[in-house]
């Protein structure tokens, strides 16, 4: 008989949230949907290290070559039918299959015991231990996400301050201070933004951009796993910050916001949907949510990292906030942690600085660290999970102090993040100031959109380009620390290569790309 022999799904082990108590089992007739992430059909997608040798795949080409194997999809369909589950959605390109059924059927299919857990006012559906799957399916399944629906990430914004704060900046002013390219507005580019809560109001956007004497951007919302544009919660500040910063910097770009639930399933599905979106075709995606590496299951890390690798092959740049809790990333045990998804080797990790300006120029810039005032500090450090990528091999990334593992160094780049020198934005009808590395990810997304337009093609996975260029095109930050790591003359685990000198970076990229020789690179 098929499906009799079962094995544990590697990396699927779950423990309850610290302090959480199981209060009851789930109701057997409750409807549950999970996302099953499958392996690629063929070899891993390849992104040439030499920029002039790059040719990005179209989304359709990628779907056919690297999408899910039809045989794997058929086998999963038979498994679903055997257990009374419905295939509620299937995306071959992102290798994502949504299975839906009663809690009773879902628990039987994956040999899990689901219960309702509570902790400090948080209630979630959870499980303990491993997921098991039929041995016949084991080679093809990467992850099963959504059985446990605990919140997995938090927004990396900090320190709402009065609008009158004299030390704050509008995004266009920061773009000017950072010498962003002029004569381009991001026209022809689409910036995708992933949000796990909150929402925006069109009237707020209209008022904000009128105040900046800029056109109101073209913003649209995409619902993922029933996530919605739902303003009226604390997460509105994150959503509005992301849209307003990216749009003010690249005012000609279109903005698409992917709203999803704050679960491992929702986060993965939003990233996968944005990366493989054939309708809106974002060339840049900004993410300002995350959590310490040690709070994720390995299967979730693998599934999301695989989606970021897809983006690299498709010519999509991903900018991600490095976190706002210093070198521990707010870990409950106080250990040195970096934030995921910022620690993925396929994203541009964005750390934070504190900026002061006089007479229209930056007079000082140092590592953002307001831990003494309980107002956060830039994330940064060394991954415990992801190996040192080739592009960082000459950057002097240190071994992790606790494990001696030389992993992926975080961040890659930086920008203004201190709430003391934060961003003037509008949220829920109020003008205010917000800081955090949440602002740096959309700042860099806007800059990448400008550089894409200037180059005439997507830059895509920019990390190898930036590390090839080195610190010469950046404002090197040499002062400050994030609670453990210190700034230095070269790459460091507080501000990476440094904050941008936009025009110097544009010139260096032109040289690195052979003066436009790579303009034949394609993306869709």
| Residues classed as catalytic | 238, 242, 438
SS3 label, residue 277: coil
How big, in percent rounded to 5, are the helix, strand and coil portions of the chain? Answer: 30, 25, 45
Strands annotated E in 30-108: 31-38, 86-91, 96-102
Chain-centre distance for alpha carbon 366: 24
What is the CA angle 64-139-40, rounded to 5? 20
Inter-residue contact 457 to 484 (CB < 8 Å): no
Rounded Cα gap, residues 400 and 405, in angstroms: 5
Q: What is the largest CA-CA distance in the chain?
A: 77
Residue with tokens 């929702």: 266
Taking the alpha carbons at both ends of the chain, their separation in whole angstroms is 45
| Cα separation, 40 vs 183, whole angstroms | 41
Query: Distance between CA atoms of 251 and 253, rounded to whole angstroms?
Result: 6
Q: Tokens 């995004």 sit at which residue? A: 171
Per-residue CA distances from 121 to 19, 20, 91, 117 (Å):
11, 10, 35, 10
Beta strands per DSSP E along 80-184: 86-91, 96-102, 115-119, 122-126, 132-134, 141-145, 154-155, 158-162
**How far is CA 306 from its chain centroid?**
13
- Positive or negative, the Cα torsion across 92, 96, 101, 104? positive
CA distance 452 to 462: 11
3-class DSSP state of 468: helix
- Token output for 519: 């303009």
Tokens of 18: 């610290």
DSSP one-letter code for 377: B
Which positions ≥6 away from 411 have C-beta within 8 Å?
Answer: 322, 342, 349, 350, 351, 378, 379, 380, 437, 493, 494, 495, 496
b/e map 317-334, b = 16+ CB within 10 Å: bbbbbbbbbbbbbbbeee
Q: What is the dihedral of CA 415, 420, 425, 426, to 10 degrees?
A: 150
Q: Backbone phi, then psi, for 231, in 5-degree steps? A: -65, 155
């Amino acid at each position: 008989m098929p499906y009799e022999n079962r094995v544990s799904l590697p990396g699927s082990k779950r423990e309850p949230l610290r302090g959480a108590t199981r209060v009851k089992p789930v109701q057997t007739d409750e409807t549950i949907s999970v996302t099953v992430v499958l392996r690629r059909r063929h070899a891993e997608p390849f992104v040439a290290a030499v920029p002039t040798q790059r040719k990005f795949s179209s989304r359709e080409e990628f779907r056919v070559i690297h999408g899910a194997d039809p045989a794997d999809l058929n086998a999963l369909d038979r498994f679903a039918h055997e257990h009374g589950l419905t295939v509620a959605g299937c995306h071959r390109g992102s290798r994502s299959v949504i299975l839906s059924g009663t809690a009773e059927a879902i628990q039987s299919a994956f040999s899990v015991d689901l219960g309702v857990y509570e902790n400090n006012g948080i209630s979630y559906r959870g499980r303990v231990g491993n997921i098991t799957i039929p041995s016949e399916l084991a080679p093809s399944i990467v992850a099963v996400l959504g059985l446990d629906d605990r919140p997995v990430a938090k927004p990396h914004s900090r320190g709402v301050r009065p609008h009158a704060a004299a030390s704050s900046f509008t995004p266009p002013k920061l773009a000017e201070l950072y010498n962003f390219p002029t004569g381009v507005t991001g026209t022809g580019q689409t910036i995708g933004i992933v949000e796990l809560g909150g929402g925006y109001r069109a009237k707020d956007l209209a008022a904000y951009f009128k105040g900046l004497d800029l056109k109101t951007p073209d913003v649209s919302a995409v619902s993922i796993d029933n996530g919605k544009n739902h303003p009226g919660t604390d997460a509105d500040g994150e959503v509005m910050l992301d849209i307003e910063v990216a749009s003010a910097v690249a005012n000609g770009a279109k903005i698409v916001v992917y709203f999803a639930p704050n679960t491992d399933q929702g986060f993965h599905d939003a990233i996968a949907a944005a990366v493989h979106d054939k309708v809106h075709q974002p060339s840049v995606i900004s993410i300002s949510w995350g959590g310490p590496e040690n709070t994720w299951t390995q299967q979730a890390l693998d599934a999301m990292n695989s989606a970021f690798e897809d983006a690299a092959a498709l010519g999509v740049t991903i900018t991600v906030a490095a976190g706002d809790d210093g070198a521990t990333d707010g870990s409950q045990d106080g250990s040195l942690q970096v934030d995921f998804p910022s620690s993925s080797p396929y994203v541009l990790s964005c750390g934070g600085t504190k900026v002061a300006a006089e007479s229209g120029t930056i007079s000082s810039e140092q590592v953002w660290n307001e831990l003494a005032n309980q107002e956060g500090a830039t994330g940064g450090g060394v991954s415990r999970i992801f190996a040192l990528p080739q592009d960082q091999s000459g950057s002097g990334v240190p071994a992790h102090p606790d494990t001696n593992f030389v992993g992926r160094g975080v961040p890659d780049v930086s920008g203004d993040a201190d709430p003391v020198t934060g961003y003037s934005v509008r949220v829920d009808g109020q003008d205010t100031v917000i800081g955090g590395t949440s602002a740096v990810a959309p700042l860099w997304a806007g800059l990448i959109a400008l550089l894409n337009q200037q180059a005439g093609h997507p830059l895509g996975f920019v990390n190898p380009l930036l590390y090839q260029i080195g610190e010469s095109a950046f404002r090197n930050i040499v002062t400050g620390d994030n609670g453990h790591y210190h700034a230095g003359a070269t790459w460091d685990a507080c501000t990476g290569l440094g904050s941008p000198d936009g025009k110097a970076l544009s010139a260096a990229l032109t040289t690195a790309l052979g003066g436009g020789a790579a303009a034949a690179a394609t993306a869709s």
